[in-house]
Chains A and B, each alone.
Chain A
Amino acid sequence: MVLNKIVKLGGEVLQSAVPLKNKSQRCASHFVYSPDSNSTIKGDRTKMNMFQAINNALDTALKTDPKAIIFGEDVGFGGVFRCTLDLQKKYGKQRVFNTPLCEQGIAGFGIGAAVAGSTAIAEIQFADYIFPAFDQLVNEAAKYRYRSGNLFDCGKLTVRSPCGAVGHGALYHSQSPEAYFAHTPGLKVVVPRGPIKAKGLLLSCIRDPDPCLIFEPKVLYRMAVEEVPTDDYQLPIGKADILINGSDLTMIGWGTQVHVLKEVADLLKEKHSISAEVIDLVSILPWDVDTVCKSASKTGRVLVAHEAPLTSGFGAEIAATIQENCFLKLSAPVVRVTGPDTPFPHVFEPFYLPTKWRCLDEALKLIDY
């Protein structure tokens, strides 16, 4: 019986993995985006996709903070994902400027500018390119305050970088490096799930007193469209969002994966009468232990899903914390649905991702544990 179900699911996976007529063609996205419907921020709203919302946040930052500067590879003409479109025209080359191709230099320059009082907003063109800057971010940015006994800090540094699967990005345009940075006290790491969150979180990062990394799921830049508040607003870093209330199990994700989990929750409800709670972790460092553990204690079953590989993915930290805090409330071990421990593949993206079918399968097993 179980085997039948799995074979059937496997078949569905294959079908869902190749939605196009021509099997050889690269695939479209593996999920359906769902906009936020219950945002409580007041004021006027305009329809924006995620890159426009980020553009709007950057515009707001430049307008409200004369010390704010934006720099990175090709940001002068808008950047590859158009997030900085027209900002150079509006604010001039002194404030919005291209850098050479040198990620380590960009990060280090940003730290220097920030420590001397500029509000430094750097773009690393793809999260896959952030590794040349890893030393600067982990050794210099993160420890500046600590090692100087708080005499100096580079809290005015924000680094934006597009992350995650995009349908055809292959090895070096698809990775999700949040867990590497989560291992670094002194940094803050956030991942927005859509335009409203992206604008509010980015403004929070820019104004936060600590260096922040914001990983923007690149597949959402154009696909995710919401009615975004036009006023200046900030959203809290370190506060998770419960997107669907449920009682039978808790499913936790961030960025793109939140939308996958929302689909899974719908499937569980419709096909299996199972009530799943869906949590967007929103920020990876710091992360909202309270909300997660309250939910875990309530449902007794937790599934964490992320695109990055399993071993030492951030799901591991969440699972460990839940078993520590909610051990006696758990009805099953915490399960992780993630990318496998392989490099991000060129030809197997649909099989690599923690798709809704894989999450659904694991959720059902969790219920039947």
Chain B
Amino acid sequence: MLPSCVRSMCKKSPKKILGLMGRQGSIVAQKGSTVAQAQFETQPFKLHKLTEAPATQVTLTRDEALEMYTQMHTIRRMETAAANLYKEKNIRGFCHLYSGQEAVAVGFKHALRPQDSVITAYRAHGWTYVMGVKPLGVMAELTGRQTGCARGKGGSMHMYADNFYGGNGIVGAQVPLGVGIAFAAKYKNTDGVCVTLYGDGAANQGQVFESYNIAKLWNLPCIFVCENNGYGMGTSTVRSSASTKYYTRGDYVPGIWVDGMDVLAVREAAKFAIKHCATGQGPIVMEAQTYRYSGHSMSDPGTSYRTREEVQEVRQTRDPIASLKEKIISSNLVTAEEIKKVDAQIKTDIDTATEQAKKDKEIGLDELSADITANHLGSDIRGVSIFAPLKHKRIGPAINLK
């Protein structure tokens, strides 16, 4: 059975869902066979304790269109490659795929300013990539190689980049951290905001509510983003949450709902939320309604609590990449040939990164005992037998202290 949120979205005609309100993409300037920019209509936003809403008429330039498409498709390809690497047993740890949710990370990225920060949970591959790590940095982290963005020490759930405070492994645990990061931004007067992501499952963790309170109490620039993909592990939202209106669950914190399958809508909502925080109005909660195609993790086939038909239906009617592709081609922002070229390039890039991620070296065994503390006060690390004596060592300065 479809969760009611998915059902209600699918009732609308596919054309409307894709934002193709007839041929309304208004052409502004001709550039060969393509136009420089076009306008689209997004689904209306839902508001909680807000008087103004973001515009539903959005403008997209040709360059933005190509970049968004490239980023989303790269994430999709990376995740497909990650699934294969996991099945080939090249990935240790647990592996949670982002396929289906790409529009959230990419839409947000197109609104973020250099001073803004992001922290998320363990479904981190896509976010790591948009925050600046190249596919090899993600893929090699997955396979535990030294070319990975955390030199293979973190793996799937723990990836990092500038202004990206990571992948965090425990459900909901990153949410209070995001509030702390927002506090630091305010205290240091950076004008930055912190995008603090969690899922519909984590939305029921007690510390999320502690975080809402602190953020509002101290008026911190924190954007709480609930990526609602319909299922907290194997339990649907309606079976886990007394209120599935996640954008209202901050109570006294204003909230906004956005169609998380529409990258343009996400970008508008993100801009709106950043402005809200950056103008001193305190935190805001955003619910991005999205969907994950894979199971919760690779050990979950994802079919014991939902039907294959449901997944297929979303793929066919709401896929964020297919819908963007259709929009930008039909509005002449990008030609079908260009898309084909981009697709081919992405395939080559990801294939190359995947092969490299299998071949690269692991870090040395001496790093088993590296970076446990800033400076180890004892001599050797205790508990290691004598044919592998381990000294503590520290490798490089922390990225956040640079």
Residues 143-189 (chain B) with a chain A CB within 8 angstroms: 143-144, 152-155, 157-158, 169-173
Which one of B76-84, B246-254, B262-270, B360-368 is at the A interface? B360-368
Give the contact stretch, choosing among A114-122, A140-148, A339-347. Answer: A339-347
Interchain CB contact under 8 A, A351 and B388: yes
Q: Which of A100, A336, A339, A358 has the largest number of chain B CB atoms within 10 A?
A: A100
Q: Chain A residue with minimal CB distance to B204?
A: A100
CA distance A99 to B171 in the complex (A): 14
Measured as residues with beta carbon below 8 angstroms from the partner, the interface class of chain A is: 35 or more
Stretch at the interface among B30-38, B277-285, B322-330, B377-385: B377-385
Please give the distance in Å from B206's CB to the nearest CB on chain A: 5
Task: Tell me, yes or no, whether B100 is within 8 Å of chain A by CB.
Answer: no
* B155 and A170 contacting across the interface, CB-CB below 8 Å: yes
- A105 is an interface residue with CB less than 8 A from chain B: yes
Q: How far is the CB of A13 from chain B (nearest CB, A)?
A: 7
Among B10-18, B56-64, B234-242, B334-342, the stretch in contact with A: B234-242
Interface residues of A in 158-204 (CB under 8 A from B): 168-173
Verify B365–A168 contact, CB threshold 8 A.
no
Interface contact A25-B88, CB-CB below 8 Å: yes
Q: Is A349 an interface residue (CB 8 A)?
A: yes
CB-CB contacts of B345-387 with A at 8 A, as 1s and 0s? 0000000000000100011010011001000000001111111
Measured between C-beta atoms, what is the minimum distance from A317 to chain B in Å?
Answer: 16
**Residue contact B152 to A339, C-beta cutoff 8 Å:** no
Q: Is A91 an interface residue (CB 8 A)?
A: no
Whole-angstrom distance from the CB of B26 to the nearest CB of chain A? Answer: 45
Instruction: For residue B310, give the distance in angstroms from its CB to the closest CB of chain A.
Output: 16
Are the C-beta atoms of A348 and B382 separated by less than 8 Å?
A: no
The interface residues of chain A lying within 8 Å CB-to-CB of B190 are none
B92 touches A168 (CB 8 A): yes
Q: Contact check: which of B92, B155, B234, B382 meets A310 at CB < 8 Å?
A: B382
Which listed segment binds A: B41-49, B221-229, B298-306?
B298-306
Asked if residues A170 and B92 are in contact (CB atoms below 8 Å), the reply is yes
The distance in angstroms between the C-alpha atoms of A336 and B385, with both chains bound, is: 10
Expressed in whole angstroms, the minimum distance between the Cβ of A99 and any Cβ of chain B is 8
| A88 / chain B contacts, CB cutoff of 8 Å | none
Is there an interface contact between A24 and B90, defined as CB atoms closer than 8 Å?
yes
A101 touches B170 (CB 8 A): no
**Alpha-carbon distance A171/B383, docked complex (angstroms):** 18
CB of A66, distance to nearest CB on chain B (Å): 25
Cβ–Cβ < 8 Å partners of A73 in chain B: 232-233, 235
Q: A132 near B169 (CB under 8 angstroms)?
A: no
Min distance, Cβ B228 to any Cβ of chain A, angstroms: 13
B402 at the interface (CB under 8 A from A): no
Cα-based distance from A105 to B203 in the complex (angstroms)? 13
Residues of A within 8 A of B241 (CB): 100
The residue from A24, A101, A172, A342 contacting B169, defined by CB atoms under 8 A apart: A172
Chain B: residues with Cβ within 8 Å of the partner, total of 53
Whether B4 sits at the interface, judged by CB under 8 Å, is no
Q: Name which residue of chain B comes closest to A11, CB basis.
A: B387
Residues from chain B with Cβ under 8 Å of A131 in the complex: 170
Name the B residues within 8 Å of A171 (CB-CB). Answer: 93, 154-155, 157-158, 169
B372 and A24 within 8 A (CB): no
A29, CB-defined interface residue at 8 Å: no
B307 to chain A, nearest CB (A): 13
> B23 contacts the other chain (Cβ, under 8 Å)?
no
List, in ascending order, chain B residues with CB within 8 A of A345's CB.
Answer: 153, 368
Does the CB pair A351–B365 fall under 8 Å? yes
Q: Which A residues are CB-close (under 8 A) to B204?
A: 100-102, 105
Q: Is the pair A7, B88 in contact by a Cβ cutoff of 8 Å?
A: no
By the criterion CB–CB under 8 Å, are A346 and B385 in contact?
Answer: no
Question: How far is it, in angstroms, between the C-alpha of A13 and the C-alpha of B381 when the chains are bound?
Answer: 19
**Residues of chain A in range 118-146 having any CB-CB distance to chain B below 8 Å:** 125, 128-129, 131-132
Point out the residues of chain B lying under 8 angstroms from A340, CB to CB: 368-369, 381-384, 390
Cα A349 to Cα B273 in complex, Å, equals 43
Q: Quick one: given A98-B240, A132-B205, A347-B144, are A10 and B387 in contact (CB under 8 Å)?
A: yes
Contact A102 B205 (CB under 8 A): yes
Whether, in the assembled complex, A283 has its beta carbon less than 8 Å from a beta carbon of chain B, the answer is no
Interface residues of A in 330-369 (CB under 8 A from B): 336-343, 345-349, 351-352, 358, 361-362
Would you mind naming 20 contact pairs between A and B with Cβ atoms under 8 Å apart?
A6-B387, A9-B387, A10-B388, A24-B358, A25-B90, A74-B305, A77-B234, A77-B305, A98-B235, A100-B235, A101-B205, A129-B170, A170-B157, A171-B169, A310-B383, A336-B383, A340-B368, A340-B390, A347-B92, A347-B155
Add 13 more A-B contacts to A100-B240, A173-B94 (CB < 8 A): A24-B90, A73-B232, A76-B234, A99-B240, A101-B232, A102-B172, A125-B233, A128-B169, A168-B93, A171-B154, A311-B383, A339-B383, A347-B155
Residues of A within 8 A of B (CB): 6-7, 9-10, 13, 20, 24-26, 73-74, 76-78, 80, 98-102, 104-105, 125, 128-129, 131-132, 168-173, 309-311, 336-343, 345-349, 351-352, 358, 361-362
Instruction: List 5 tightest A-B contacts by C-beta distance, closest first.
Output: A310-B383, A170-B93, A100-B204, A172-B169, A340-B383
